[in-house]
Structure formats: structure tokens, C-alpha cells
Structure 1
Amino acid sequence: MGDTENTTPWPDHPDDELQALREGATAPTPPAPPDCPDCGLPEDRYPTLYEGHWVLLEPDVTVASHQLPPRRRWVIGVDGIAINTWDAEPTPGAVCRVAHHLVCPYPTADTRWPWPWGTALPAVIDL
């Protein structure tokens, strides 16, 4: 009857730290400015469901959700918390936000991702 290996209650899930790192929820926390530590560009910073972790999202950029791969789609909840929708199939017409680490012009070795979403982004930006 379900998963008995992981019974830790949310939000204190033991994998939160690793998952936040995987999703790019590594933004500087307030009161530091919401600037990318790699390129210095100002970004939109939002808290995530991972306690103590914030994510930098591209300002004023929304993309049709089906144009980003699963686990790279961020939506902002009514409470102002950024939520990665993971593998959820987007509804028709749904839009999402783009994490800055996917399109950062100067990623470090720690933040570099193996796919060139930044080069395709101008074609899918819905301003």
C-alpha cells in the first residue's frame, strides 16, 4: 500500500537540498539583491517549496509550457511561490516561466546545463 521507504512529512523531505540544486533553486537569499552570481544580471527571485531555497526566473518572460521540457517549467502560485511542475502535462495554452540558469550567458561549470535552451529561447518568448 504505497511507498513505505519515504514517510517523512512534507516539506522536510530529506531530498529537498539535492532536488533544489537539480532544479536550479540556488538564488541568493534576501536581503541580497536578486542578481545572477554568474553574469550579474538582475532577475526575478521567488521562494520555492524547498525551504530556504529561491529561484531566479527571467523577468517578464513567459513561454508556452509545451515548448520547455518537463522539469524545466516554473509557474508562480497565487501565494507567490515558484513551483516546478515536473512531469505534469501542460494544459492547452498554459504558460510558464524560464529559470535563469537555463539561459545565463556566463554559466559556471557548476550551473552549466547540457542543452542549449538559451539559443532557442528568442524563438519561443511570448512577450
Structure 2
Amino acid sequence: MGEIDNVSSRPDRPADDSDHVNAAFHALLEGATAPRPPAPPDCPFCDLPQDRYATSYRGHWILLEPRILVPAHTVPPRRRWVISSSGTALNLWDAEPLPGTVCRIPHRIACPRLEAEDHWPWVTALRGHNSRRSQRLFDLPDEGLPDAG
């Protein structure tokens, strides 16, 4: 058969500049809006340190809740993130996870300064915990501190 001149890396989309626009749109849709290195991996809303991972969307990073691995079947679709062997964070979207799969959750659903996405009671508890942690960063005791003047 003849040669194929127009080969796209994705069979369902044309290979043109719209791929970059689509990737940026999907990155925003998935919450891959973390500050890029070398900026610290802190949430821009609550200032809590997070785990930052590169995503499959070139130039886009995601903040994931640190030290929290959750059975993937307990997390609603589109909130399940897995870390590939290369260290890239991948959103499972609507794919049904295999039994025993664990995933990470994006910080934005547990951020105490963003509008709540109450998917599960334990995320509400985690948001409360993060709120207390965040307050400790800003609420210093008034009494017992020496006067600056």
C-alpha cells in the first residue's frame, strides 16, 4: 500500500496546533495548574506544601495531597491520579480501576480555601485538618510576643 503522509500521534484528532490548545484545556479541566518548578510546591490558595507531579500535558503540573494513598475504587471518577513508573501523574478519568489499585487525590478537593467538592466524608475531615494546618501558618498568638516598637 502507499505511504501515509499525515500521521497523527492520536488517531481521533488531527496533528496540528489545536492539540496544544486541547492539552491546555484538559490540563485546566483536570486541575493541573500547580506552580512550575523552581517555585515551591505550595498551594497558591492555602500555602500548604503539597506533592507536585508533572502531568502528561507538557508544561502542566498537579498538586496532590501528600502521603495519602486511597483505594481507587473509593474515589469518584476524574479525581483518581496514579503515578507512572516515570514519575508522571496520570488521571484515570472514567476508567474503572483494577482491584487493589491505589491512587492519589488532587489537593484542590481538600484545600480549605477552595469551594468544597464534598465527595466523601473523609475528604470533609481532611479539608478541616488542612484548614487547621493552614491557620497555624497565619494565626500567631497576640499575647506573649514582644512589641516591635
CA distance in 2, matches of 1:8, 1:45: 29
Residue identity matched to 1:87 = D
CA distance in 1, matches of 2:41, 2:28: 17
TM-score (norm 2): 0.69
Structure 1 stretches of at least 4 aligned residues deviating more than 3 Å after TM superposition: none
> Identity of aligned pairs, percent?
52
The change in CA–CA distance for 1:33 and 1:8 in structure 2 (over 3 A counts) is same
Who is 2:70 aligned against?
63
Runs (5+) with no aligned partner, structure 2: 1-9, 127-149
In the alignment, is residue 28 of structure 1 matched against residue 35 of structure 2?
yes
TM-score (norm 1): 0.81
Say whether the 8 Å CA contact 1:102–1:118 is kept in structure 2: no
Who is 1:44 aligned against?
51
The two structures, once aligned, show a CA RMSD in angstroms of 2.2
SS in structure 2 of the partner of residue 14 of structure 1? helix
Q: Quick check: which one's strand share is greater?
A: 1
The change in CA–CA distance for 1:5 and 1:120 in structure 2 (over 3 A counts) is same
1:1-127 → structure 2 map (5 Å cutoff): 6-8=13-15, 12-107=19-114, 112=115, 115-117=117-119, 119-121=121-123, 122=125
Q: Quick check: which one's helix share is greater?
A: 2
Residue 7 of structure 1, CA deviation: 1.7
Instruction: Choose between structure 1 and 2 for higher RCO, CA contacts under 8 A separated by at least 6 residues.
Output: 1
The change in CA–CA distance for 1:27 and 1:6 in structure 2 (over 3 A counts) is same
CA distance in 1, matches of 2:84, 2:12: 30
Larger radius of gyration: 2
Say whether the 8 Å CA contact 1:47–1:80 is kept in structure 2: yes
Runs (5+) with no aligned partner, structure 1: none
